[in-house]
Amino acid sequence: MIVLECCVDSVESALAAVKGGADRLEICSGLPMGGLSPSPCLFQKIKEVCGSVKLHVLLRPRVGDFCYSDYEFQILLEEVRLFKKLGAHGVVIGILKPDGELDVERMKLLVDEAQGMSVTLHRAFDMCSMPRVALEEAVQLGVQTILTSGQRNSALEGADLLELLVEQAGGRITIMPGAGVSAAVLPQLLERTGAKAYHMSGKKTVPGRMVYRQPSVSMGSARMDEYEISLTDEEQVRAARTILNQWDQSGKN
């Protein structure tokens, strides 16, 4: 069966994703900023309420690029150890060198630390200078999955590269398209890429609970509405799961 992974940054989103038919969750915080490492408490609460669904944890110590200082790398190593102890099924990681190549040496240290868990190379891959070389390096490192939009702003825009990556991978590593994935574009992605796993957020925006609203202060970017909340939409996830099931049943897979 084709895998559907949902990235979530709250317990409510995790529950909605599971009810909608997600096979696996990628837990993070700060999703509007591309995702950051979640708190241990968030992970534990999702683990508590979501039953047996597989839980992967995005590890990213800060907003910005994927070229990390020694301190940031030590944080990543310690987070791998921490979430392994807490029972995560997998970690989602990625480090680049200043020239855009995959930082194989430090990736190996993270992969070794994650032994016993699944490892996904996250969208740092989309910022790398030589994606097809990085794919081979990921295989050699023992990475199980590469999450990628095909180095474009959406997986549909990057479908040509995704197709080449799936062909190059040849089943040695899973290429998982992500970014802009929804029921509306899945038929095209399935037809064009042949990928066996997909990553989506399925977000909808809902009003916050605040009645009083302070117009003179912003806690973050002034471009963000702090009285709106983004949550995973169960129906969007269900619609995507239905498309994937239909594709499986058609025998095209």
Nearest to 220 by CA among 29, 34, 30: 30
Could you read off the pLDDT of 65-85 as tens digits, one per residue?
A: 999 999 999 999 999 999 999
- Angle at alpha carbon of residue 161, lines to 159 and 162, rounded to 5°: 60
**pLDDT surpasses 80 at 249:** yes
What is the CB neighbour count within 10 angstroms for residue 173? 22
Contact 50, 15 (CB under 8 A): yes
Contact 141, 149 (CB under 8 A): no
Average pLDDT over residues 108-122: 97
**Pairing verdict, β 3-8 and 118-121:** unpaired
- The pLDDT value given to residue 175: 98
**pLDDT surpasses 90 at 220:** no
Confidence at 243, pLDDT banded by 50, 70, 90: very high
Contact 141, 172 (CB under 8 A): no
Average pLDDT over residues 228-232: 90
Q: The sheet that has 174-177: what strands, in order across it?
A: 174-177, 145-148, 118-121, 90-93, 54-58, 24-27, 3-8, 197-200
**pLDDT surpasses 70 at 253:** no
- The pLDDT value given to residue 1: 86
* Beta-ladder partners of 92: 58, 120
Confidence at 236, pLDDT banded by 50, 70, 90: very high
Encoding tokens for residue 215?
């117009």
Encoding tokens for residue 61?
């110590």
Range in 30-39, 69-78, 107-116, 176-185 the model is least confident about: 30-39
Average pLDDT over residues 119-143: 97
Average pLDDT over residues 213-230: 74
- Angle at alpha carbon of residue 131, lines to 125 and 134, rounded to 5°: 80
* Beta-ladder partners of 193: none
Confidence at 221, pLDDT banded by 50, 70, 90: low
With helix as H, strand as E and coil as C, how does the chain read?
A: CCEEEEEECCHHHHHHHHHHCCCEEEECECHHHCCECCCHHHHHHHHHHCCCCEEEEECCCCCCCCCCCHHHHHHHHHHHHHHHHCCCCEEEECCECCCCCECHHHHHHHHHHCCCCEEEECHHHHHCCCHHHHHHHHHHHCCCEEEECCCCCCCCCCHHHHHHHHHHHCCCCEEEEECCCCCCCHHHHHHHHCCCEEEECCEEEEECCCCCCCCCCCCCCCCCCCCEEEEECHHHHHHHHHHHHHHHHCCCC
Contact 242, 250 (CB under 8 A): no
Contact 197, 145 (CB under 8 A): yes
